[in-house]
Amino acid sequence: MSNNRNNDGMPEETMQTDELNADSFGDGMIEIGDTRLPDAVIRVQKEVDAIGWLGADMRVIGMAYFRNPDVFWKRRVPEKLNLYEKRIDGHERRMPNSRRARAVDMSAIRRDCPINHDTTAELFMSYRQNEDGRIVVDETDRSAYWGVMRHAEASCDGLLADPDAPIVDPWKSDGSEVPGRDPGLLALWDRISGLVIPLPSRSLLIYRFWKSGMGVDLYVVDEESLRIQQHNHPECFDESADERLIQREIDVCEAELAYVIGHNINLRQHPDAYENVGRKETLQ
């Protein structure tokens, strides 16, 4: 499959379909890291490019900075920020305002649930080669997404920032809206579908691809939560993990949950209730 780019850095519009391997697949993750760093955009773009050829043509871009005019160190979600979702075999719809904040800022998730499994955005998409030889979204295949923006709309509304734009210092900025790149947020623009995935600071972009990159699944989770889980349960993340040990860990967790639910225990008032009874509860 061709992975060539023209002199402008744009992908070539054709691919060699005779080299398409329907069985090829891969997966991995990219650490978004500290988005306040000047080289954040370049670093994440290099990680994205290292995946290899994908039907999605992904570019890392910046987001404009919008702060809370009343509490200057807090960012706010502007009313003109539209996020969209589409379920498999469903129709696209605008996400409710109550769900927008977590897609662009993970601080609330980390505060309320330090160990979480929340997916803040996802793009599950298939691509194909059209009659002109260009890669387009395969509208005949199932696709789904949520927590994403439309690039044309977001650009028109001034929500996007040039990757080279200066990073805003919220402690020095004046005015509710200032030019520059948001220090706590990047975005991933798929130039084929026109959709944009928000990438909050210290998040993880997890990717899977199949059919030689003509099918992709990209989703964003909390990196800090994953690191806590890896530290607490390294055996679950070791490639040579003992499945029996992992199952015992699962059994203990499920037994603890069953005990808490069965005895209607308030863990905020009695956080050690299960441990104090000697972990005698077992699953039936």
- Which tokens is 260 given? 């808490």
Between CA 197 and CA 148 the distance in angstroms is: 5
Task: Report pLDDT digits (tens) over 43-72.
Answer: 999 999 999 989 999 999 999 886 655 554
Across the range 87-116, mean pLDDT stands at 83
Task: Report pLDDT digits (tens) over 7-43.
Answer: 333 444 334 344 555 556 888 999 999 999 999 999 9
The secondary structure of the chain in percent helix, strand, coil, rounded to multiples of 5, reads 25, 30, 45
Residue 104 has pLDDT above 60, yes or no: yes
Q: What is the DSSP string of 20-61?
A: --TT-EEEEEEE---TTSTTHHHHHHHHHHTT---SS-EEEE
Query: Which amino acid appears at position 174 of this protein?
Result: D
Selection from 48-52, 168-172, 173-177 with the highest mean pLDDT: 48-52
Distances (CA, A) of 108 to 12, 54, 104, 112, 225: 41, 33, 11, 6, 13
Residue 267 has pLDDT above 50, yes or no: yes
Between CA 89 and CA 210 the distance in angstroms is: 20
Q: Which parts of 115-187 fold into alpha helices (H)?
A: 151-156
pLDDT value, residue 100? 81
pLDDT value, residue 16? 39
Residue 191 has pLDDT above 70, yes or no: yes
pTM: 0.73
Task: Report pLDDT digits (tens) over 207-252.
Answer: 999 988 999 999 999 888 888 877 777 767 666 556 676 677 777 7
